[in-house]
Chains A and B, each alone.
Chain A
Amino acid sequence: KAGVTQTPRYLIKTRGQQVTLSCSPISGHRSVSWYQQTPGQGLQFLFEYFSETQRNKGNFPGRFSGRQFSNSRSEMNVSTLELGDSALYLCASSWGSQSSYNEQFFGPGTRLTVL
């Protein structure tokens, strides 16, 4: 089985722009979660989607949003980019929702740099 894929792998944007990141989960996985990883804040949960519904959301401003499609692929969008949004954005998929005991499988991440 192919693993979790994320595109693009690297992005450079300027302040005020918006960006869309894409995640394709492992085939058959219905849950997709997004995390932000920075040296200062570590790994922080952004949100989880399960069967096209947002099940949970972390403590991030409304500029961060996401969606999931019927094929379980997910996108996250960040509008009005700020310098502090520079981070590695990780996507993880699992067969069940985070309400289950299933472990998550992570993609390689998208490295976003905001100038």
Chain B
Amino acid sequence: AQSVAQPEDQVNVAEGNPLTVKCTYSVSGNPYLFWYVQYPNRGLQFLLKYITGDNLVKGSYGFEAEFNKSQTSFHLKKPSALVSDSALYFCAVRSTNSGGYNKLIFGAGTRLAVHP
């Protein structure tokens, strides 16, 4: 079964420090991975995706993610956290069903709290 795991319910970091939000995946075939962020009372916003190519993917708002095939991980990172980065972060993987159609499977989400 194809799945995504976000092992941390919450990550706390001080403003200005680097942050990492972890994601591991399990898929058959090539993984197509995404990160989204959700602010209170709003829908999800796309941050970045990995389809193929460089293992380090750069995205919106200074975020980047590192794809590691051997560890089946796709951790989200940012060199210097801002208080405004506090939100709920979702990792997602594209899953293919028996009919050949795809859907996104989301992790449970990680709440990031950045303290001043």
> Which residues of A line the B interface, CB within 8 A?
4, 33, 35, 42-43, 45, 48, 55-56, 58, 90, 92, 97-99, 101, 103-109
Q: Is the CB of B105 within 8 A of A56?
A: no
User: Once the chains are docked, how many angstroms separate the CA of A101 from the CA of B92?
Assistant: 13
Q: Is the CB of B90 within 8 A of A48?
A: no
Cβ of B51 within 8 Å of any chain A Cβ, yes or no, is yes
Across-interface contacts of B108 in A (CB, < 8 A) = 42
Across-interface contacts of A56 in B (CB, < 8 A) = 97, 99, 101-103
Produce 1/0 per residue, B38-76, CB < 8 A to A.
Answer: 000111111001010000000000000000000000000
Distance to closest chain A CB from B100 (angstroms): 7
Interface residues contributed by chain B, number (CB under 8 Å) = 25
Given contacts A90-B44, A98-B94, A109-B43, contact A103 B101 (CB under 8 A): no
Most central of B43, B51, B99, B102 by chain A CB within 10 Å? B43
Across-interface contacts of B49 in A (CB, < 8 A) = 101, 103
Residue in A35, A98, A109 whose beta carbon sits within 8 Å of that of B102 in the complex? A98
Distance to closest chain A CB from B99 (angstroms): 8
Q: Is the CB of B46 within 8 A of A103?
A: yes
Produce 1/0 per residue, B73-116, CB < 8 A to A.
Answer: 00000000000000000100010010111111111110000000
User: Once the chains are docked, how many angstroms separate the CA of A22 from the CA of B108?
Assistant: 26
Residue of B nearest to A109 (CB): B43
Residue of A nearest to B36 (CB): A106
The 10 closest A-B pairs by CB, nearest first: A106-B43, A43-B106, A106-B44, A56-B101, A98-B102, A103-B46, A45-B103, A42-B108, A55-B101, A99-B102
Most central of B99, B103, B104, B106 by chain A CB within 10 Å? B103
Across-interface contacts of B103 in A (CB, < 8 A) = 33, 45, 48, 56, 58, 98
Residue in A97, A99, A101, A108 whose beta carbon sits within 8 Å of that of B43 in the complex? A108
Q: Is the CB of B101 within 8 A of A101?
A: no
Q: Is the CB of A42 within 8 A of B43?
A: no
Across-interface contacts of A55 in B (CB, < 8 A) = 101
Distance to closest chain A CB from B63 (angstroms): 14
